[in-house]
Amino acid sequence: MATKRKKQATAKTAKAEAVTKVALVGFGTVGSSVARVLGAGKFPGVELTHIFNRDVERKKRSDGGKVVPASVIWTENIDEILRSDVDIVVELMGGLNPAEGWIRKALAAGKSVVTANKQLIAYRGVSLGKLAAQQGVHLRFGAAVAGGVPVIPGMLQGLCGDKVTRLSGIVNGTCNYILSRMETGADYATVLADAQKLGYAEADPSADVDGYDARAKLCILSRIAMHAELDPDAVATQTIATVEAVDFSYAKELNCTIRQVSRAQINSGAVHARVAPMLVPLASPMAWSHGTQNMVVVSGTFGGDVVFSGHGAGGEPTAVAVVSDILAVAQNCGVVRLPVRRRQVTGEFFAPHYLRFVVDDKPGIVSAISGALSKVGANIDSLLQRRGYPKHRLPFVVTTEPCLTSTIERAVASIARLDCMLERPLCLQILEVEDRPE
Ligand SMILES: NC(=O)c1ccc[n+]([C@@H]2O[C@H](COP(=O)([O-])OP(=O)(O)OC[C@H]3O[C@@H](n4cnc5c(N)ncnc54)[C@H](OP(=O)(O)O)[C@@H]3O)[C@@H](O)[C@H]2O)c1
C-alpha cells in the first residue's frame, strides 16, 4: 500500500514538473514576438527550447534575438528540430513551401503543430488536420485569421452549437487601412505608398489589394463556421485598386462607405462567396472598423449575429493568439470536431449594385445605360451626379435594385463598349443586411 502511494506521489510530481518544449520555426515579426510574449508571461510548464531560421547569427543580433534566453538552441537545420524532443513545433515562416513538408514531418514525428499560416491552412488544412488526428497530436491555427482577434477559437468552441448560414468580414488590415484613409479624401496611390512605408503593405501588394489573402481567410472561416470546404482558387475576387476617392463621395450620399468585404453564405448546399470592395451601410458594424482593425460578423440560425473585432495583424496581437494555442496544446485541451463537406462555390449574389461611369459627356448616355440595364432585366434605383467635374471627364453613378451578379456583369460588359466610356465602369455590390444568394 505504501509503495502504491509512493508511486502515485511520484507520478503526480512528474506530472506537475512536466515541461512542454517549444520550437519556433521562423523568427520574423510574429516569431520574435512569440518569444517575447512567452518570456514575459512566465507560463509554468512551457519552455522555449529551439529557434530555427536561416542565417541565425543575423537573427540573434536583432532586437528580438537579444531577449531570447541563453538556454535556447538556435539552428539553421530543420532536422535538428524534427529529431529533437520538442513537443510543439510553431511554424511562423509563412508560404506553402517548405512549410507544408516540414509540418507533415513534424506531425509524423508525433509533434503537435501551431501555425499562423493562412495560405497553408486554406489549401492544406483538411489533410493536415487528418494527419494530426491519425498521429494523436494537435494542429492549431488560431492566429491564421484576424491575428489577435480570437475568431477561430470563438467559432470552434463558442459557436459550434449553432447552424451558421452566413459570415462576412473585414479580414485584411492592409485593405482596411487603405480604404478607411481614402474615406477622408486621399487617393489610392498615395495611401498605398504610405502603407508600404509603414510596413502595412508589401512591396508587391497584390496578395492584399487583389483579395488573395482575404479569400484564404474566408475559406478557413467557412470551413470552421459552416463546415464547408472550399477551393480558395474558386472564390471570386475583385481588386480594390480601381476604387477612387470620388467613390467615397458618392458612397456617402448613399449613407455608405467602402470596405473590402469577404462574405460567404450557404444556400441549398452551395456556398456563395466573394471577396471584393463593397458599399457598406454606415450603420453596419463593418463601417466602424478603421485602420488595420479586423471585424467578422457571423450569423447563426439560433444565436443571431455575433461580432468579433480587434487588431487583425501586428507581431504582438498575433503572438497572443499563437501563445494561446501553445498553452491549449500544452494542457492537452481538445477541440470540437464536426464533419466538413467539400462544397461547390459560386460568386453569385442577389444584391443592389453601385455602378460608377467616367464619360466624355454627350446627350443620350443615360438612355444608353438604362437601355443596357433594362435589356438584362436590371432596374435603376437612383442616378447621382455631383457638380464640379469637367464634362469631358465626368464621373457619375447609377445604383440598381437587387439583381444577380451575373446579370449586372452582362450589362456592365455591354456598357463598357459605349464610345463615351473613358474607363471600364466600376461595379460594386451594395451590402444589405437582408440580401440573399440565389
Ligand atoms: N505579421 C502579421 O501581422 C501576421 C498576422 C497573422 C498571421 N501572420 C502569419 O504569420 C506567419 C509569419 O509572418 P511574419 O509576419 O512573422 O513573417 P516574417 O516577418 O517574414 O517572418 C518569417 C520568418 O521566417 C523566416 N523564413 C522564411 N522562409 C524561410 C525558409 N525557407 N527557411 C528559413 N527561414 C525562413 C524568415 O527569415 P528571413 O528574415 O531570412 O526572411 C523570417 O525570419 C505567416 O504565415 C503570416 O501569414 C502574420
pLDDT in tens, 60-74: 999 999 989 999 999
Question: Which residues of the chain register pLDDT less than 50?
Answer: 1-6, 8-16, 434-438
Contact between residue 264 and residue 221 where contact means Cβ atoms under 8 Å apart: yes
Catalytic residues: 217
Q: Which three cell numbers stand for residue 122?
A: 486554406
Q: Tell me the whole-structure pTM to 2 decimals.
A: 0.93
Per-residue pLDDT tens digits for 335-374: 898 999 999 999 999 999 999 999 999 999 999 999 999 9
CB 31 less than 6 A from any atom of ligand 1: yes
CB 161 less than 6 A from any atom of ligand 1: no
Contact between residue 383 and residue 414 where contact means Cβ atoms under 8 Å apart: no
CB 27 less than 6 A from any atom of ligand 1: yes
Show Cβ contacts of residue 69 under 8 Å, excluding neighbours closer than 6 positions: 39, 48
- pLDDT (0 to 100) of residue 6: 47
- pLDDT (0 to 100) of residue 17: 62
- Other CB atoms within 10 Å distance of the CB of residue 251: 26
Distance 227 CA to ligand 1 centre (A): 28
- pLDDT (0 to 100) of residue 316: 93
Contact between residue 30 and residue 318 where contact means Cβ atoms under 8 Å apart: yes
Per-residue pLDDT tens digits for 261-284: 999 999 988 999 999 999 999 999
**Closest atom, ligand 1, to C-alpha of 26:** 24
DSSP class of residue 155 equals I
CB 143 less than 6 A from any atom of ligand 1: yes
Closest residue by Cα to residue 22 from 102, 109, 85, 108: 85
- Closest C-alpha residue for ligand 1 atom 39: 28
- pLDDT (0 to 100) of residue 313: 84
Q: Which three cell numbers stand for residue 137?
A: 497530436
Start-to-end Cα distance in the chain = 71
Task: Round to whole Å and give the CA distance between 248 and 230.
Answer: 32
- pLDDT (0 to 100) of residue 433: 59
